[in-house]
Amino acid sequence: MAARVLLRRRVAAPFMAATLAGGALFPSVALAEALPQDHSLRKPIYDDYETFLPKNRSSNSVSSSTPAPPSPSSDATTIAPSLSSPSPDAASPSPSPSSSLQIGKPHGPTPTDRLAVQIGRARLFLYGYAAAAEDAVNSAVDSAFNLERSFTETVASLAPARETGERLMPGLVYVLVASMTGSIATRSRGLVLRAAVPFALGLGAGWLVLPVTMTNVSALLWTYERRFPAVADAHLQTRQSIERAWHFAKVHADVSKSYVDEKVHSAREVVEEWVKQGK
């Protein structure tokens, strides 16, 4: 037993010395620290489809951009030139499996590339519908705002100016009272009179007490009537007939007035002659 322990102790010292000398004279790179041979040939998964560059060009670009690390074989030869001389077979790198592939062959799309393309198409599809919906909502809101602005501007344009001295509140009350009066007066008549007389009385009262406002209202109605030529022509014909009838009535009234004045004047002269003769 003591001899075995002694033998082990005697063998352990030379073994440790030989291990340290071998590690110092023949250094090697760990596999976890070494770069893969096709590291320069890899590309990001989201890049466009590109062909592989030749191995010599990629290695030259890498070596020109970054300093090349010292090779273990050169270090070993510089440290111990007398111990071992590297053979030509050992100095030349062994052909890698990737070198057996064709260098100029284009690389097809990977499943990740296809998935990225499909995701991009789906995003563009959803973006198109979202943009269309946003445009529709914006147009609807713009049309609502334009309608509200047009309504407020129209109502404001119907009000009389301050220079005219016309006030809406008492005038509107008078128009309402006139319409109610016509409705009360024709409550026992037919349906046509019950609908026409209040409207006519209210319209006449409006032209009488609110002439400026009624002029603005008629101008606004005329702008809407011009969109329908048939309605505009009918309105013009009706207005012309009413104006013609009013003109004829006014002329007949003037003629009747002058005739009555002449008769009254002649009667007055006859009476005056009688009075003179009686004296």
- For the stretch 123-132, pLDDT in tens is 999 999 999 9
- For the stretch 140-192, pLDDT in tens is 999 999 999 999 998 888 888 888 888 888 889 999 999 999 999 888 888 89
148 shares a domain with 190: no
43 in a structural domain: yes
Q: What is the mean pLDDT of the chain?
A: 75
90 in a structural domain: no
Give residue 17's domain range: 2-27+37-82+100-107
- For the stretch 100-143, pLDDT in tens is 444 545 567 888 999 999 999 999 999 999 999 999 999 999 99
Task: Please state the length of the chain.
Answer: 279
Q: Domain total for the chain?
A: 3
174 shares a domain with 141: no
274 shares a domain with 207: yes
Q: Residue 65: pLDDT above 50?
A: no
What pLDDT, on the 0 to 100 scale, is given for residue 35?
A: 52
What angle do the packed helices 211-225 and 191-209 form, to 10 degrees? 120
Q: Residue 72: pLDDT above 60?
A: no
66 shares a domain with 20: yes
Tokens encoding 240: 């012309």
**Between residues 209 and 79, which one has the greater pLDDT?**
209
What pLDDT, on the 0 to 100 scale, is given for residue 272?
A: 86
178 shares a domain with 144: no
Q: Residue 75: pLDDT above 50?
A: no
What angle do the packed helices 191-209 and 168-185 form, to 10 degrees? 160
Cα–Cα distance measured from residue 156 to residue 216, given in angstroms and rounded to the nearest whole number: 11
What pLDDT, on the 0 to 100 scale, is given for residue 123?
A: 95
Rounded to two decimals, the pTM is 0.45
172 shares a domain with 154: no
Q: Residue 78: pLDDT above 60?
A: no
233 shares a domain with 175: yes
Residue 205 burial (CB count, 10 A): 21
What pLDDT, on the 0 to 100 scale, is given for residue 36?
A: 54
154 shares a domain with 171: no
What pLDDT, on the 0 to 100 scale, is given for residue 12?
A: 62
258 in a structural domain: yes
- For the stretch 143-154, pLDDT in tens is 999 999 999 998
182 shares a domain with 240: yes
What pLDDT, on the 0 to 100 scale, is given for residue 23?
A: 60
13 in a structural domain: yes
Burial of 76 (0-12, 13-18, 19+ CB in 10 A): middle
53 shares a domain with 6: yes
Q: What is the average pLDDT across 269-273? A: 87
- For the stretch 11-58, pLDDT in tens is 566 667 777 666 655 555 544 445 555 555 555 555 554 444 444 444
91 in a structural domain: no
Give 231's contacts (C-beta < 8 A, 6+ positions apart). Answer: 225
242 shares a domain with 188: yes
176 shares a domain with 273: yes
- For the stretch 211-247, pLDDT in tens is 999 999 988 888 888 889 898 899 889 889 989 998 9
185 in a structural domain: yes
94 in a structural domain: no
Residue of 162, 149, 152 lying closest to 212 (CA atoms) = 162
